[in-house]
Chains A and B, each alone.
Chain A
């Protein structure tokens, strides 16, 4: 099953809708609740990153027999130093993002903690591509 979502930057009122849709789909498929939590937490953090940092982006989710793959692409400023961004506490988020309860530098580490595979590529000035796999 494939799902595709368009994500609008800076619109926190609908941020999380994609992750919520995927959570419902996984529950309908009777996926192990512990796996669902890992998948949706990783996806939600990625979705919030797009909303917080990018002009816009897309999320593509493939629910397969033995794994869930998530492809998150954003058109934003890009990450200058991915290794640094992966460290807990490092953040370039704006005050408006912090007011929503995010932007403390935990997003990427939270994705990594929950993912079985987490690959991220970023080009400064163009955007960021993330590929997350969690095995079922």
Chain B
């Protein structure tokens, strides 16, 4: 499975990082949350974050939780500070106009597993 296929599946735009260097072997799981403390509880690696929360703390949380791919949903746009921190931390960012629910559905159907 290629990241290009996932980008196409959820009509995403890559706004930070060379997401195509990642493979879905890097992402066995996905976790969706707008609550960052829940993200900080994750103990599994190989997890991508799907969220509608679009602020600098989304990026900082991913940094601490060792998440290197975030899908920002509902048409939210990352600002310059978010992009700068994500770049420093080697975090790839995708933006999509789709809802969290739709993105979860598409990725689940595609074989990305839930954590719980």
Number of A-B contacts defined by CB within 8 Å: 65
Complex: how many Å from CA A15 to CA B58? 11
Among residues of B, the one whose C-beta sits closest to the C-beta of A36 is B66
Question: B57 near A20 (CB under 8 angstroms)?
Answer: no
Interface: A37 (CB within 8 A)? yes
**Which size bracket describes the interface of B in this complex?**
20 to 34
Chain B interface mostly? helix
Complex: how many Å from CA A33 to CA B64? 11
Interface: B115 (CB within 8 A)? no
User: Which residues of B lie under 8 Å from residue A101 when comparing CB positions?
Assistant: 34-37, 53, 55, 57-58, 61
Check A12/B37 contact, CB under 8 A, given A23-B64, A37-B64: no
Complex: how many Å from CA A101 to CA B82? 15
User: Which residues of A lie under 8 Å from residue B41 when comparing CB positions?
Assistant: 106, 110, 113
Among residues of A, the one whose C-beta sits closest to the C-beta of B58 is A101
The smallest C-beta distance from A61 to any residue of chain B, in angstroms, reads 14
Question: A13 near B64 (CB under 8 angstroms)?
Answer: no
The smallest C-beta distance from B67 to any residue of chain A, in angstroms, reads 11
Question: A44 near B40 (CB under 8 angstroms)?
Answer: yes
Complex: how many Å from CA A62 to CA B55? 30
Tell me the chain B residues, 71-86 only, with Cβ under 8 Å from chain A. Answer: 81
Question: B40 near A16 (CB under 8 angstroms)?
Answer: no
Tell me the chain A residues, 84-136 only, with Cβ under 8 Å from chain B. Answer: 100-102, 104, 106-107, 110, 113
The smallest C-beta distance from B55 to any residue of chain A, in angstroms, reads 6
Tell me the chain A residues, 2-37 only, with Cβ under 8 Å from chain B. Answer: 12-13, 15-16, 19-20, 23, 33, 37
The smallest C-beta distance from B11 to any residue of chain A, in angstroms, reads 24
Question: A104 near B35 (CB under 8 angstroms)?
Answer: yes
Interface string of A39-50 (1 = CB under 8 A from B): 011001100100
